[in-house]
Structure 1
Amino acid sequence: MTARNVASDLAPRPAQNVAPDLAPGFASNAAPDLAAGRDRSDGVGADLFREALGRHASGVVAITAEVGGAPVGLTATSFTSVSLAPPLVSFYIADSSTTWPRLRLARIFGVHLLATDQADLAARFADRGADRFGPPTAWRPSEEGVPLIDDAIAHLICDRHETHAIGDHWLVVGHVRRALLNRRREPLLYHQGAFGGFAELP
């Protein structure tokens, strides 16, 4: 996996603030004994939990919607499939997200599976101070009005199916009404605070 470090405000996996401040290696040199990282009253310690989840490589998506005549969007690494029948997908978004108050108003949203060369776009959509839909972001509205990001490897147009508060995050479940595929591109991945892609094994 080729990687590029990124400092960003990603919409994280559940209970994980995907952050650039994770240090490599476990907090304890005694690999099988992680008792030092355990809070007996509330489970594992937050820093160790965040580091452990950061070791899970995940795909990277951009979530977009049109709210009040303006596009909104963010980067998420918590995207997953839920069901084939009906076709359901989900992602998590932090309760502290500055985008969530607007995104939660959307009844239809898009999930865009990003390609390897879209790391800059993923970082821009994770930056709270960025103009996410301004240049150089290339996008167009779908027939439903959802902003479609150019060159993503797949677009899923979803009706919002369910929304639940879980811990310090919101779980958003979408019912996929339409899918558009680009089969000629490779996926962008996120691992230990860096974006990257697949490398062929020898």
Structure 2
Amino acid sequence: MAIDVPLRSEAVRKSVSQQQDFRAAMRRHPGAVCVISTGDCAAPIATTATAVCSLTVEPPQIAVFLAQASETCRAIAGGGSTGKTIGADACRFVVNLLTTRQQGIAATCADPVARKQRMSLGWDGEPGAPPRLSGAAYHMECLLARSEVIGTHVLIVGEVVDVVVAAKADPLLYLNGLWHCAASLSQTEEMD
């Protein structure tokens, strides 16, 4: 009895095709644009992220996924993963939800070589505290509670210790490789 086994090159082509399909699907998944920052106002370390979500309300925790290779990930999670809860010396970081007026900040923080430009983005914060972006829709200051490597990224769980929400802000979204505001997406067209 013959067993039909796909050739390795066919399996590789299928895998590449699945990755491309996955990327195409995720480009259609709108994401709120955040800047994750750590360090201090004198030397902020920051990156743009859309893989951010609430995790639990009690205790208040947020999940952030960052590329292992990013400077921000290494600064927050130490570049690795223990998969264990972190102690009292946990790293502090801030999740800054950007507004539609902060597209330039999103682009600057997404560029790994724009370190010098990130220094002048308008950071606020107390001495010894992680930097917060002026004008953001909200700031959530977090303590690293856990980190775990998952594929090419690191899941960072932050215990929220402080939240500042702007009175009025239109959050910046990313969809199909373009910046959007929530108001423009709320106007739907009738389907045929």
- TM (normalized to structure 2)? 0.76
Separation in structure 2 between the aligned mates of residue 43 and residue 133 of structure 1, nearest angstrom = 35
**Counterpart pick for 1:183 among 164, 167, 179:** 167
**Counterpart of 2:187?**
201
C-alpha separation between the residues in 2 aligned to 1:98 and 1:185? Answer: 29
CA drift of 1:40 comes to 9.2
Kept in 1, the 8 Å contact 2:76–2:92? The answer is no
* 1:8-44 CA-partner distances (Å, limit 9, x unpaired): xxxxxxxxxxxxxxxxxxxxxxxxxxxxxx9797596
Q: Contact 1:65–1:109 (CA<8 Å) still a contact in 2?
A: yes
Give 1:102 deviation, angstroms: 2.6
Structure 2 residue aligned with 1:102: 75
Q: The residue matched to 1:45 in structure 2 has which SS?
A: helix
RMSD of the TM alignment (CA)?
2.4
Paired AA for residue 100 in structure 1 = C
Given candidates 113, 116, 124, the residue that maps to 1:140 is 124
Distance 2:176 2:142 in 1: 29
Residues 33 and 106, structure 2, Cα contact 8 Å, conserved in 1:
yes
1:77 aligns to 2:50 (yes or no):
yes
Percent identity between matched residues is 29
> Counterparts of 1:178 and 1:138 in 2: how far apart (Å)?
20
CA shift, 1:103, in A, is: 3.3
Match of 1:134, as an amino acid? M
**What pairs with 1:1-202 in structure 2 (closer than 5 Å)?**
45-66=18-39, 70-105=43-78, 107-130=91-114, 131-135=116-120, 137-142=121-126, 145-197=129-181, 198-199=183-184, 201=187
Q: Secondary structure at the match of 2:118?
A: coil
Is the 1:162–1:172 Cα contact (8 Å) retained in structure 2? Answer: yes
Q: 1:93 is paired with a residue of what secondary structure?
A: strand
Q: How far apart, CA to CA, are the structure 1 residues paired with 2:117 and 2:147?
A: 24
* Helix, strand or coil at the partner of 2:171: coil
Report what 2:83 is aligned to.
none
Instruction: Return 5+ residue gaps in structure 2 as ranges.
Output: 1-10, 79-89
When Rg is computed on C-alpha atoms for both structures, the one with the higher figure is 2
> Counterpart of 1:119 in 2: which secondary structure?
helix
For 2:143 and 2:117, locate their aligned partners in 1 and report how far apart those are by CA, in whole Å. 22
Contact 1:142 1:148 in 2 (8 A): no
Equivalenced residue count is 163
Distance verdict in 2 for CA 1:41–1:194, change over 3 Å:
closer
Q: Which runs of 5+ in 1 are unaligned?
A: 1-37
SS state at 2:107 partner: helix
Question: How far apart in 1 are the matches of 2:158 and 2:69?
Answer: 21
- Which deviates the most, 168-177 or 41-50? 41-50
